[in-house]
Amino acid sequence: MTKQTIITILGLLLITAACSYAQNECPKILYTSAPVGSLDYDIYEMDTSGSNIECLYDDAGDAQMVHWSTNLDRIVFSSNTSTTGRHELFAMDADGSDVNQITSFGDYWAPSSPRFYDNSTIWWGRNEIGEICSINIDGTGYSVLSSVESGYSIGQIDFCGSEIVYSKQVTSNARTFDLYKANLDFTGEARITNNSSSDVGPDYSAISNRIVYRKSTASNGYSAPQNIFTINLDGTDDTQITFAAGSQTYGHPMWSEDGLEIVCYYRDGYQNDVIIMNPDGSNQRNITNTPDYNEAPSDWRNFPCASENAIAGIIKSDNSGLLGVYVLLYDNNGNILQREISDNNGEYSFTNVMNGDYTVEVQIPMGFSPESDPVVATTMAGADIEINFNLAEAASGKATDLWWWKRQFQAIYNSTPLFLGITENDVGNYCAIIFNHFYNRDDGFAIQIEGVTYMDASPCPLDFNDIYNIFLGNSDCSNAAKSRKHLLIMMLNVASGRLSQQTVVSNDGATASQAIAFYANEYLFGDSNDWTIWYNLMKIGMGWKVSAGTIDLTTPNVMYKQINDYIMPEEYTLSQNFPNPFNPTTSVSFRLPNPSNVELIVYNVAGQRVKVLADGLFNAGTHVIEWDAANVASGIYFYRINAGEFTESKKMILLK
């Protein structure tokens, strides 16, 4: 594998990572619902806003403990509409069809918290029998995995990697449970809580590595009020996150898949409602609130958002498809959902686009201008949409060589601008373009060479003084120095509109864009003192074509253009970091409708300052800050922005 191939693959991988915004996931909650005073519980699913409610199974009795399979195509639950008249295990398809009774034990108590161990095997607790059992989804292969003293109960179970966590009766009082964990073969059992209370309903999050459970905070240890707690697997940091009082009760807690929220029910003396809250118990919001109905959540999983519709089109210049142009898809809040790059035919496509309002924006490459509006609003309504863009060459095609540029720099320095010359401000603008378009990129194609695309340890654009010193005040005549100068000259030609990125600069069709990428990679990863680098760049600057085979034609034909948000923000916003969870780097973006002094700081759960990500004046627009947390411990962190009078905080999870 060649060095260039490796660089190309890396760029494509980074593009793929950036496009992960397009992975649509739709979280759903399984829950049961019955009229107040009735035990006729039916099975429903809904989204996390409490909408898109669908009844999956209209049970004639008391449906409980509902869970999806690991591949989300089956559901297991407990119901007393069985051949024994007692609660038994049932399974059905995820759409509520093909309902089958699995067990026929006739136990007095309902099976406790059946969970899919894999797609075909179910584990559950037999309450008063005091056993944890397994059975195949077709009713075969019943096995007792673990048992306790007869007459004692096993409560809910959950899996946590190579271990299982469960609630177990610890005294003759049938309402006294503590939490335990053990290996999957039930060796190494360890007690997690020792409260002599009703510690039930454990649900484990691999993201936070914590258990959420319900415990009575009443003096008798089992009646109302009952509250939600979180705790580490080793029993440390047992934290109460809800504070019900009197007849109030919380129950059936479980984590979201990303570990950022908890769903449970809340009862205020009359009816149960499903609520969602933060892991610290804050921001509680009721998502059901159906009058005169009791509702309790059972499972929370992320599903792929089903859609077959696409927004697609072609990027053209002079009726030919243009390769390597970025196209962005925004939602109606201005958030980037997908990023695509036009292919050899100029084609792009956003797939799996849900119904709704969107904006499509083409990022205009340097050296081109749009012949129509580069930002198009559209509405997806169940059918594919075609949006094409036409770009015109804006570059003059008159590239100038190093000696022409040196004469301009000397004239500016002497305050005697040449006829048709350039100004000091022009040079500053060209350097800013080079910094923004070549250095400051997040797609794997950044060119970061000091003295070419940036200056100083705290990277910033070159200014005129830097340019003058490089070309007229520096006596370094090494091959490496010559290569940096001629690469900078080529970028200045592109940034000033004198050279189109699509200009063919070799006898076998390599473009100026490919030449920049190829020779920058040769300098960075090859022999920076190779004289052929500056020699071939010099020939291109003089308007000559280099020999066939000189530039690797597999070099990405990148259309250099900074990824900016052309939709100017109308309000201050702080976005969720991405990726999240992360290890060890993540990006935080924020939007400013006006230039603002911004303070962006990361805190730990104790409120201690961990990292200052930003502290200074920022222009209006969208800004992205990367945090490398390689030297920070795994855990939950909070990041807070202060911009003018705007303040907002969000959570992030570092998972190593």
Same domain, 274 and 327: no
Same domain, 88 and 50: yes
pLDDT classification of 591: cutoffs 50, 70, 90: confident
Q: Which of residues 246, 265, 300 is at a domain's end? A: 300
Domain with residue 318: its CATH number is: 2.60.40.10
Residue 18 backbone dihedrals phi, psi, to 5 degrees: -65, -30
Query: Residue 56: in which H helix or E strand, if any?
Result: strand 54-57
Q: What's the average model confidence in pLDDT over 442-461?
A: 86
What angle separates helix 479-495 from helix 424-434, to the nearest 10 degrees? 100
Grouping H, G, I as helix, E, B as strand and the rest as coil, residue 643 is strand
Same domain, 291 and 316: no
11 belongs to a structural domain: no
Strand locations in 287-408, DSSP E?
293-304, 311-317, 320-321, 326-331, 336-341, 347-350, 356-362, 368-370, 375-380, 385-386, 389-393
Question: With the C-alpha atoms ordered 208, 214, 219, 224, is the resulting torsion angle positive or negative?
Answer: positive
Same domain, 315 and 289: no
Same domain, 295 and 329: no
The percent of residues in the chain predicted with pLDDT above 70, rounded, is: 91
Query: Residue 76: in which H helix or E strand, if any?
Result: strand 74-79
Q: What's the average model confidence in pLDDT over 610-624?
A: 81
Reduced 3-state DSSP string for 420-434: CCCCHHHHHHHHHHH
pLDDT for position 138 = 92
Cis peptide before 579, with omega less than 30 degrees from 0?
yes
Residue 26 backbone dihedrals phi, psi, to 5 degrees: -115, 105
Residue 217 backbone dihedrals phi, psi, to 5 degrees: -110, 15
pLDDT at 339 over 50: yes
Residue 32 backbone dihedrals phi, psi, to 5 degrees: -115, 150
Burial classification of residue 351, based on how many CB atoms lie within 10 Å of its CB (0-12 exposed, 13-18 middle, 19 or more buried) = middle
pLDDT for position 174 = 62
Long-range contacts of 63-67 (CB under 8 A, 24+ apart): 63/32, 64/32, 64/110, 64/298, 65/110, 65/111, 65/112, 65/113, 65/114, 65/124, 65/156, 65/298, 66/30, 66/31, 66/32, 66/298, 66/299, 67/30, 67/113, 67/114, 67/115, 67/116, 67/298, 67/299
Residue 594 one-letter amino acid: N
555 belongs to a structural domain: no
Summarize pLDDT for 468-506 with one digit per residue, the tens. 999 998 778 899 999 999 999 999 999 988 888 888 999
Quote the CA–CA distance of 534 and 102 in Å, as a whole number: 76
Contact 452, 487 (CB under 8 A): yes
pLDDT for position 2 = 34
Provide the 10 A C-beta neighbour count for residue 398: 10
Provide the 10 A C-beta neighbour count for residue 575: 17
Same domain, 486 and 599: no
Same domain, 35 and 74: yes
Summarize pLDDT for 7-64 with one digit per residue, the tens. 232 233 222 233 232 345 689 999 999 999 999 999 999 999 898 899 999 998 899 9
**b (16+ CB within 10 A) / e for 598-633:** bebbbeeeeeeebbebbeeebeebbbebebebeebe
pLDDT for position 199 = 80
Summarize pLDDT for 50-65 with one digit per residue, the tens. 988 999 999 988 999 9
Summarize pLDDT for 74-88 with one digit per residue, the tens. 999 999 999 998 999
- Quick one: tokens of 611? 């990292």
Contact 349, 310 (CB under 8 A): yes
pLDDT for position 564 = 46
Average pLDDT, the chain: 86
230 belongs to a structural domain: yes
Summarize pLDDT for 65-117 with one digit per residue, the tens. 999 998 888 999 999 999 998 999 999 999 999 999 999 988 777 677 899 99
Contact 72, 54 (CB under 8 A): no
Choose among 177, 165, 186, 103: nearest CA to 140: 103
Q: What's the average model confidence in pLDDT over 522-541?
A: 93
Burial classification of residue 570, based on how many CB atoms lie within 10 Å of its CB (0-12 exposed, 13-18 middle, 19 or more buried) = exposed
Contact 261, 272 (CB under 8 A): no
**Gyration radius of the chain's alpha carbons:** 32
Quote the CA–CA distance of 244 and 248 in Å, as a whole number: 5
Choose among 155, 205, 151: nearest CA to 180: 155
Same domain, 591 and 608: yes
362 belongs to a structural domain: yes
Summarize pLDDT for 176-216 with one digit per residue, the tens. 889 999 999 999 999 999 887 888 889 999 888 899 999 98
Domain with residue 584: its CATH number is: 2.60.40.2550
Same domain, 384 and 497: no
**Looking at per-residue confidence, does 115 or 172 come out higher?**
115
Contact 64, 86 (CB under 8 A): no
189 belongs to a structural domain: yes
Grouping H, G, I as helix, E, B as strand and the rest as coil, residue 215 is strand
548 belongs to a structural domain: no
Residue 345 backbone dihedrals phi, psi, to 5 degrees: -95, 5
9 belongs to a structural domain: no
Count of all residues that appear for the chain in the document: 656
Same domain, 587 and 637: yes
* Range of the structural domain that residue 381 is part of: 307-393
Same domain, 385 and 406: no
Q: Which of residues 372, 393, 414 is at a domain's end? A: 393
- Quick one: tokens of 495? 């940034």
Quote the CA–CA distance of 283 and 278 in Å, as a whole number: 6
Contact 586, 626 (CB under 8 A): yes
Q: What's the average model confidence in pLDDT over 116-136?
A: 87
Quote the CA–CA distance of 133 and 111 in Å, as a whole number: 10
pLDDT at 560 over 70: no
Same domain, 382 and 510: no
Contact 296, 252 (CB under 8 A): yes
- Residue 650's contacts (CB-CB under 8 Å, 6 or more residues apart) are 574, 576, 577, 638, 639
**Looking at per-residue confidence, does 617 or 552 come out higher?**
552
The Cβ-side half-sphere exposure at 11, using a 13 Å CA radius, reads 19
Summarize pLDDT for 291-334 with one digit per residue, the tens. 899 999 999 998 866 556 899 999 998 888 887 788 999 887 77
**Looking at per-residue confidence, does 68 or 571 come out higher?**
68
- Quick one: tokens of 632? 């920070």
Q: Which of residues 256, 275, 300 is at a domain's end? A: 300
Grouping H, G, I as helix, E, B as strand and the rest as coil, residue 496 is coil
Domain with residue 39: its CATH number is: 2.120.10.30
279 belongs to a structural domain: yes
Q: Mark residue 347 as left, alpha or beta (left: phi above 0; alpha: psi -120 to 50; beta: remaining).
A: beta
pTM of the model: 0.49
Residue 186 one-letter amino acid: F
Q: How many domains does the chain have?
A: 4
Among the ranges given (374-388, 548-562, 603-617), the one the predictor scored with the smallest mean pLDDT: 548-562
pLDDT for position 294 = 93
